[in-house]
């Protein structure tokens, strides 16, 4: 289900953008794999990434947040899982694909 804003306006109208990658695990499986303390892994571009569980601003939707060595790369919700660009336009493919392949 897409992330929703108040008044039932879709928070992520495009449910992710750009190219997709072939997912091996569902959003729920990856969210569970990350666990309550998060995990570190190497992105497809060779950067150390820390993934943690998160929530949308209105706290209605679970997300996976990708934190790089120097900046936050973005986050993925169930609606945009499998896309290289997340619902809000951040480039997450190098993080999401590597995380999906890490287990």
In degrees rounded to 5, what are phi and psi of residue 42? -105, 130
Please indicate, yes or no, if residue 12 is contained in any of the structural domains: no
Domain count of the fold of the chain:
1
What is the spatial distance between Cα 10 and Cα 2, in angstroms, rounded to a whole number? Answer: 7
pTM of the entire predicted model:
0.83
Closest of 59, 101, 97 to residue 81, by C-alpha: 97
Residue 2 lies inside a defined structural domain of this protein: no
For 6, the 3-state DSSP assignment is helix
Residue 11 placed within a domain: no
7-30 pLDDT per residue, tens: 333 344 455 666 899 999 999 999
Q: Which residues pair with 53 in a beta bridge?
A: 64
The rounded percent of the chain whose pLDDT value lies above 70 is 83
- Kindly state whether residue 52 falls inside one of the protein's structural domains: yes
β-strands 72-77, 39-42: how paired? unpaired
Q: Is residue 10 part of a domain?
A: no
- Residue 34 host element (H or E): helix 27-34
Look up the domain containing 96 and give its range: 19-101
């Amino acid at each position: 289900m897409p992330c929703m804003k108040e008044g039932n306006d879709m928070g992520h109208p495009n449910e992710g953008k750009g190219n997709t990658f072939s997912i091996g695990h569902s959003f729920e499986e990856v969210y569970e794999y990350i666990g309550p303390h998060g995990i570190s892994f190497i992105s497809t571009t060779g950067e150390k990434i820390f993934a943690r569980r998160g929530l949308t601003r209105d706290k209605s939707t679970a997300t996976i947040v990708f934190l790089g060595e120097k900046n936050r790369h973005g986050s993925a919700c169930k609606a945009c899982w499998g896309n290289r660009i997340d619902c809000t336009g951040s480039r997450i493919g190098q993080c999401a694909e590597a995380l999906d392949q890490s287990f």
